[in-house]
Structures are given as structure tokens and as C-alpha cells.
Amino acid sequence: MGYHVVRLTLTFAVLASMPTQSESSEPSPRPTLLRALGPWMGVAIVVGTVIGSGVFVKPRAIAQNVPDFAHVALVWVLGGILTLFGALAIAEVSVLFPVAGGNFVYLRDGYGRLAGFLWGWVEFWIIRAASIAALSTAFVDGLHRVVQNLAGATTPWLSPTMHVGLTASVIALLAAVNCRGVRWGGGLQLVVTIAKVGSLVCLMVLPFAVAGFRDPEGIRASLLDQPPSTTFSWSGLGAAFLGVVWAYHGWMSLAPMAGEVKEPQRNLPIALGGGMLLVMFLYLGANLAYCVAMSLQEMAALPDGSIVAAVVGGKLLGPIGEVLTLAAVMTSMFGAANGNLLAGARVAFAMGDDGLAPRWLSWVHARFRTPVNSITALAACSVLLVFGGAWARSQFEMKRQLFDMLTDFAMFGAVIFETLAVTTIFVFRRRLPDVPRPYRCPGYPWVPLLSLTLPIFVLWMMFVNQPAEALFGVAFIGVGAAAYAVQTRK
């Protein structure tokens, strides 16, 4: 059944992208993207894409790798500050180039066409597609648990095949909505982001409301006087930061949509900086609530695939609390998948427009004013990753969860090229010194330099802790370089 839903929905998206007879028979100016995103929708895209699954799922992995709450707070706060620094730097570059494409444009104009192509290659095939696939997978996991809890069932009601089919159907539905118009996709993002921010605020307050605010000493003891969950190691710290990097990933998602932002010189910095400040506040508050509700040892011992937020909700309010928390988590993941599809399709559009990808990817629907071919292609790639990842996991009897496989797959390419994109601020400051800059990165050059320290550390730790995944990522980039050579010889 899931397969047929996917097929019908993707067919609708493709049909929507085809010009009508009147459109094709009369020559007309080429449709362009519509500047329809204001500051609120910009903040919603940043916040809604960043807050997906990480803050609800990754705290378990972090608890397994750091010994106490002080280190938990350190990785979340330091990760957030350094990510904010990167956002402040990329805001300056995006104001210089307020067009569709984001990092593809910055790397192409900063380091040459090969760099731009490799970003688009990794972005399309690994970062966005895997992120959409991972978030949709986690969304269906949450839906499965909600139905199971409401029905009081003890056995799974979704077979592996049904799970994969339903995940693909979610991706196809998002593609259809985004094909319909940027206001539809942006409006959906705004509504979902408001819901997820509200649910995170409730989650932050919940442990204190249940336990009462009358025992500050007990709260302090629950945070600081717990026995260590593990011993400290640099490799463990690196693994914890990898989880944090995934949780903060998506902060660049507004840049590819700069060509659809109203008053980009004003609204891009507001959305990037303000969005990241709000995310940092919510993340630290949520992790404070987790650690008040349960010890790090309990968190580290949770089974594979556990959603920490749902466990906390169930512990504090019983089954109804778990169901409500799962519903909030599902909303968050759905919104993050939508944000990734919104942004990722614009990179493929820009590459097609530049001639570094098939030209049909840059076609804009005359009525909907959206890059429907790029949206459909990215959705189809994400569906293929869902099916391929599930097949590989069953065929080779992999013990890791599909979600963790997909997120680590996405992070390697993201860390390399997003770090390189931040460095373009130095290139353009030197190459274009006299170009007016309505917004300048505060604290230049130290702010962008400091933002590079975290991704470089995480990248090194990935080679140490996960050499197979890292080497596969390097090989995939090499394949992209070969594809570029073939493309440019035509």
C-alpha cells in the first residue's frame, strides 16, 4: 500500500511540473522564483530545520560518551556558540549573494566551479537526501509508537516493509506540498515550528512543574552529584560533539533560499542569528529538563532507538505523557524534513541553472513558481535511500539503527563542505573589499575562525572512531570529482 501511495503522490508532483498546452504553445518570459519569505518565515525555516530529531534522540548517545551533566552542558553550549558564529559569518556572505543556491554559489564563486559542483554533489546525494530520509524514518518510528501505546499493543503493528513504504509516503507528501508553492512550504514550516517550539518549552518546564519548584537543593543534587555515567575520553567527547553537530545541523538551510527572501540584506542576518539563539536556548533547556528527570546512567542505558523526550514524558506523566511527547517529537521531525526539502531543492535548481547539473532541474513552474523538478528529484533520491538503507541493514544483518546510519552518512559531507563555505567570508573580504556590505560579521576575523574549530575536531574524530564511514565519504567525493570531469568535457 505504501508503494502505491508513493507512486501516486510522486506522479502528482511530476504532473504538476509539466506545462499546460497554453503555457507551452505561447512564448513567454521564463518564470522566476518568488520573493515571498519574510523574517518570521525565515526564522521558522532556520529553527524548524535545525530542531528535528537531535534534541529528542541524541542525548542518549551523548550520555554514553561523557561522564556528567557539566560535560553535557559543555557540548550543547559550546556547540551552539560555535554554530552561531558560523551563522553570523555565512549571513554576511548570503547578503553579498542573495540568490538561490547557498553554499553552491559561495563555493563556486569563492574557490571555483569544481568546489561548487562537489558541494552540490554531496549536498544532493548525501546531506539533504539522507537527512530527509532519516527524519522521515524517525517520524514513522514515532507514529508507530504512538499507535502502539494508544492500542495497548505489545507487538509491533508495522512490518519492516510497511515501515519503509509509509516512510516513503511521508516524503512524497512533502514533495507534493512543496511543489504547490513556496508559500505552502514556508507556511507549513511556520506552523510546524510554532508547534515544536511550544512543545519544547512545555518539555523544559515539565520536570520542574511535576517535582515542584520548592526543592532547589534536590534539583542541584540531581544534576551535579550523580555518579559518572562513563569515564572521560577525547574520543568520547568527539562522539558526543558529533551528536550535537547533527542536532544543530540545518542552520544553513535558509541560505539556499536567499533568492526567495524579501529584503534579504535585512532579513537574512535576522533569521540566521535570531534563529540560532532561539535554538540554543531551547536545546539547553530541554537537556536540563532531561537530566533533572533521570540520571545520565539511566539515559545511557536506554535501548537502541529510544526517544529520550518520550521516556521523560512517560516517566513524569505516565502513558499519556509519553504519547503527547511522541506527538510533539513527530511534529518536530516532520517540520525538519520539510525544511530540508525546501532548502535542498534550491541547490539542485541553482546547479541546473548554472549548467553543472541537468538543465531540467532549473525549470520553474509558471503558476506555482517553484522548482518542481528539483523538489521531485530530491524526494525520489530520499526514497531510494530509505529503501536502500533498509535493504542493506537486513541483507548484512547490521545492528545499528537505520536512523543512526543515515545521520552519520549525512554528517561527514556536511562537516567538510559547510566548514569550507564559512571560509569563503575571508575570500570575499579580500577579493571584494569595496562592495557595499549592509551587514558585516561582528568580531571578524575571530568569530568565523572560532566557528571552524568544532567541525575540524568532529571531522578528525570521525576518522578516528568511524574510519569506514569517513573513507566511504572521501571515496564518494572522489566519484563526484570524476563526475565533474565528465560533465565539463561535454
Neighbours of 442 (CB within 10 A): 12
* pTM of the predicted model as reported, rounded to 2 decimal places: 0.76
3 — pLDDT class (breaks 50, 70, 90)? very low
Mean pLDDT score of the chain:
81
| pLDDT at 463 exceeding the cut of 70 | yes
CA gap 5, 272 in Å, rounded = 36
pLDDT cut 70: percent of the chain above it: 84
At 261, phi and psi to the nearest 5? -100, 130
Q: Is residue 186 part of a domain?
A: yes
Q: Is 13 part of a structural domain of the chain?
A: no
CATH number of the domain where residue 177 is located: 1.20.1740.10
Mean pLDDT of all residues in 451-455: 88
167-184 pLDDT, tens per residue? 999 999 989 888 887 666
Is the predicted pLDDT of residue 324 greater than 80, yes or no?
A: yes
- pLDDT grade for 4, boundaries at 50, 70 and 90: very low
Q: Kindly report, residue by residue over 191-231, the tens digit of the pLDDT.
A: 878 888 888 888 888 887 776 555 555 566 566 667 777 78
Convert the pLDDT of each residue in 361-393 to its tens digit: 888 878 878 888 999 999 998 998 888 877 776
Q: What is the pLDDT of residue 130?
A: 81
Q: How far apart are the first and last CA of the chain?
A: 42
Contact 352/361 with Cβ under 8 angstroms? yes
Residue 88: pLDDT above 90?
A: yes
> Is the pLDDT score of 111 beyond 90?
yes
Within a domain: residue 1? no
CA distance 8 to 2: 10
Integer Cα distance of 343 and 128 in angstroms: 8
Residue with the larger pLDDT of the pair 182 and 12: 182
Instruction: Answer whether residue 343 shows pLDDT above 50.
Output: yes
CB atoms closer than 10 angstroms to residue 351: 26
Q: Is 313 within a domain?
A: yes
pLDDT digit string (tens) for 396-418? 555 556 556 666 666 777 788 88
DSSP conformation class of 209: H
Instruction: Give the chain's count of helices (H) and strands (E).
Output: 23, 0
Residue-wise pLDDT for 264-283, tens only, equals 888 899 999 999 999 999 99
263 C-beta neighbours (distance < 10 Å), count: 13
Q: Average of pLDDT values for 467-478? A: 82
Per residue, what are the HEC states of 113-155? HHHHHHHHHHHHHHHHHHHHHHHHHHHHHHHHHHHHHHHCCCC
Domain count within the chain: 1
Alpha carbons 378 and 369: distance in angstroms, whole number? 17
Average pLDDT value for residue range 318-336 = 84
Measured from the Cβ of residue 358, the count of other Cβ atoms closer than 10 Å reads: 15
Q: What pLDDT is stored for residue 215 in this prediction?
A: 56
Is residue 5 situated within a structural domain?
no
Contact yes or no for 13/376 (Cβ under 8 A): yes
Report whether pLDDT(35) > 90: no
Q: Are 427 and 65 in contact (CB under 8 A)?
A: no
40 within some domain = no
Instruction: Provide the domain limits for residue 67.
Output: 47-489
Beta-carbon-side half-sphere exposure of residue 464 (alpha carbons within 13 Å): 14
- How many Å is the Cα radius of gyration of the chain? 22
Instruction: Give the DSSP per-residue string, 247-298.
Output: HHTTTTTTTTBGGGBSSHHHHHHHHHHHHHHHHHHHHHHHHHHHHHHS-HHH
Cell of 283: 536545546
For residue 52, give the nearest of 267, 294, 246 by alpha carbon.
Answer: 246
For residue 259, give Cα distances in angstroms to 102, 190, 392: 9, 18, 38
pLDDT band for 134, please (50, 70, 90 cuts): confident
Contacts of 102 (CB under 8 A, 6+ apart): 94, 252, 255, 256, 257, 258, 343, 346, 347, 350, 421
Strand-pairing partners, residue 257, are 100
Residue 450 lies in a domain: yes
Share of the chain above pLDDT 90, in %: 21
SS3 215: coil
Q: Give residue 276's pLDDT.
A: 92
| Cell numbers linked to 392 | 542493506
- Give the pLDDT mean for 108-130: 87
Q: What is the pLDDT of residue 409?
A: 61
* Grid cell at residue 440: 558585516
Q: Kindly indicate the confidence band of residue 5, based on its pLDDT and cuts at 50, 70 and 90.
A: very low
The pLDDT assigned to 467 comes to 81
Q: Is residue 454 part of a domain?
A: yes
